[in-house]
Amino acid sequence: MAFIDELKFNADGLIPAISQDAESGEVLMMAWMDRQALEQTIATGLAHYYSRSRQKRWRKGEQSGHRQKVR
């Protein structure tokens, strides 16, 4: 995953992530990812993010059941 080294993470080690509906292109949400969340997303095919307020990584849908599959 060498391309990750080329991304510009902010001073907190985060990068913005925009999720869109694959069919319509509608923007669903904006969230933050750290390097590990991005790596987990790529490895699993499910969206992982970093919560600045909780200071931890989370997988979309882990509580609500509304997972985001990555294409």
Convert the pLDDT of each residue in 2-12 to its tens digit: 899 999 999 99
**Both structure tokens of 45:** 């095919």
- Which domains are delineated in the chain? 13-71 (3.10.20.810)
Considering the entire predicted model, what is its pTM? Answer: 0.88
- How far apart are the C-alpha atoms of 42 and 40, rounded to whole Å? 5
Nearest to 55, CA basis, from 12, 10, 19, 3: 12
Convert the pLDDT of each residue in 16-41 to its tens digit: 999 999 999 999 999 999 999 999 99
